[in-house]
Each structure stands twice: as C-alpha cells, then as structure tokens.
Amino acid sequence: MKFSAYQLAQLLNGEIVGDGSVEVSGVAKIEEGKPGCLSFLANLQYEKYIYQTQSSIVLVNKDFEPSKPIKATLIKVDNAYKSFAHLLEICSKELDKHPVGIEYPSFISSNVKVGRNVYIGAFSYISNNVVIGHNTKIYPNVFIGENVTIGDNTIIYSGVRIYKNCIVGNHCIIHSNTVIGSDGFGFASADHSNKKIPQIGNVVIEDFVEIGANCSIDRATMGSTIIRQQVKLDNLIQVAHNVEIGENTVIASQTGISGSTKIGKNCMIGGQVGIAGHLTIADEVKIAAQSGIGSSITKKGEIIQGSPAFNIKKYQKSYVHFKHLPEIINQLESLAKEVEELKKLTNK
C-alpha cells in the first residue's frame, strides 16, 4: 500500500511540514529509516535520529520544534505514537486478510452451528454442540471440544486446543498451541498418594481478549476460570483453576498464577512473576518482573517489586544497600576486630 503525506495528514487530522506529495509504502524505526518509509518520533530521547533519518515521512507531536534542518516531511499530530499505531492497524487489516470457507480434510460434527463467513482450516476437529459465531477464523490443526461456544470475529490460530464446555467471546485472538480448559492442578494427599480431584468447571473468556502462544488456562474445579474483557496475555503464561483476571489487565511472558487468585482491573504484571494461590490483587496494581507474590495486595494502584514483593520505592532503597552488602559486612567485621582490640587494651 502507498500513502502520500497529504493522505496521511487527512487520515490523522495532521499538519504537513514539507512536501505533501511524497509517498511511503513501508514503515521503519526512525534510526533505521529508508527512503519510502514512514517513521515516528514520540520520545525526545530519540530526537537526534530525526536529523539523520532517511525515512520520507516522520510523524511528530504538534509541539515538536526541530533545532536543525530535517530532510523528511513531517506530519504533526496530537499523539505521534497513537497515530503510528493507528496506521499499523489499518495496514495490518489490509495485509492480513483471513480466508473464508471450510477446508478438507477436517471433521465437523453434524450438530455444530456455524455462522456466516467462517473459516475452518484443514485437519481441525469440531466436536458436538459447538457454536461458532460470524466471521470467526479457525486455522488448521485446531481441536474444539464438546459444547464450546466461540463468539463473532474471533481468530484461533493453528494448534490451539479448547476443551469441552468452555466459552470464548467476540473479537478474541488466541495464538498457536495455547490450551484452554485443561485440568486444574488439584490433588488430595493421603497415605503417601495424590488422589486426583475431578475438575468439572470451565473457562470463560470475555470479549476483546488476546492470548499469546503456548499459554495454558486451566478449567475450574467448580464454576469458571474467568478472563475478563480486554485482557492481554503474553506468550507462555500459566493461569490455574478458578483464577479470575479483571478487565483490561495485561500480563507479560512466563508469569504463573496459582489457583483461585483474583486479579483486579487495569493491572500490569511483568514477566516471570509468580503469584501464590487464593490471593486478591487490587485494581491498577503494577508488579515488576520476576517478583514473587505471597500475600494479597489490597491497596489500589500499589507498585511492588521483589521476592517476596513489597513497595517498589522501599525495594529500590533496600537494593542500594543490598548491592553493597559485601563491603558493609567487611566494615562490620573490621569494626568488630577493632572493638576486640580495644577490649583487650582496656582489660590491661
């Protein structure tokens, strides 16, 4: 696709500084720009690159004032980062057009309800009583268990497994090799044996949820494991039985959430975070990467770090001392020796 600066300015309600007829057909980071590419400058730490970039057009914030001449045509917008993201979304829709129709060989049970403009890829297995909404795309090698409901405009990529009775909402994206509805980790220990506790619940995924590749979301022991609307999960995340993740929460890769924990709305959880079971995390909490959460966080908007985690400002102050712990110990040992020497002199 090609866009002129004039077309982009109209689309973004922006102001052109430079040649309005120049065209772009690709995008690039500002430091890696080439002729025919569109870049953006939102963070002034990267300002130096705008004076040397080869990109033909650069999106900038309206208050940006260059200190040197710039070769590129500028388009001034209210928010350069958001405008660039909007353009990427438009390009993505044009470039990533999904197929329609049913490919064979695939198995679709006779009582499946299939909406309009659905795609079901080859070697997929759709079990009894499944409902598939309009415009939903199911790529090859997907397994959908009995009584599963999938909403409209949802994309399920190759290798996904959705176990029986689970519900997936509208406008969701589930990436390859994720498993939804596998058994929760429930065992009763007695007489040196672990007796499996049947997991008879399901998983409910609400609208506009995106789940990365190779995630595992366990079914509830009873009731539902719930992923609320607008939640975004990165790759390689484990969500245990009966967990509830509040709307608009985002979680980075390799995080594990133990059973029956409830996470609030608008939280941000970094990578490799471990969260113990039966906890409550308040709304708008931020958890730094590699933190260990062993107790509930009840204060809205708390920012924490560490393992076990505590307030991030206190953690950072403590870390300053921790870094110097060997020197501090050497000083203490030296002082202890001096005290012993003084005691000997005093006793004389």
Q: How far out from the chain centre does Cα 203 lie?
A: 19
Q: What is the spatial distance between Cα 307 and Cα 315, in angstroms, rounded to a whole number?
A: 10
Phi, psi for 67 (deg, rounded to 5): -100, -5
Tokens 């399920």, residue? 156
Counting Cβ atoms within 10 Å, is residue 315 exposed (0-12), middle (13-18) or buried (19+)? Answer: middle
Which residue is catalytic, options 171, 241, 278, 321? Answer: 241
Q: What is the spatial distance between Cα 259 and Cα 261, in angstroms, rounded to a whole number?
A: 6
| 41: Cβ contacts below 8 Å, ≥ 6 apart | 30, 47, 49, 50, 58, 59, 60, 61, 64, 80
122 close to 103: Cβ distance less than 8 angstroms: yes
3-state secondary structure of 340: helix
What is the sign, positive or negative, of the torsion defined by CA atoms of 48, 51, 57, 63? positive
171 in active site: no
3-state helix, strand, coil split of the chain in percent (to 5) is 20, 30, 50
12 close to 57: Cβ distance less than 8 angstroms: no
Catalytic positions: 241
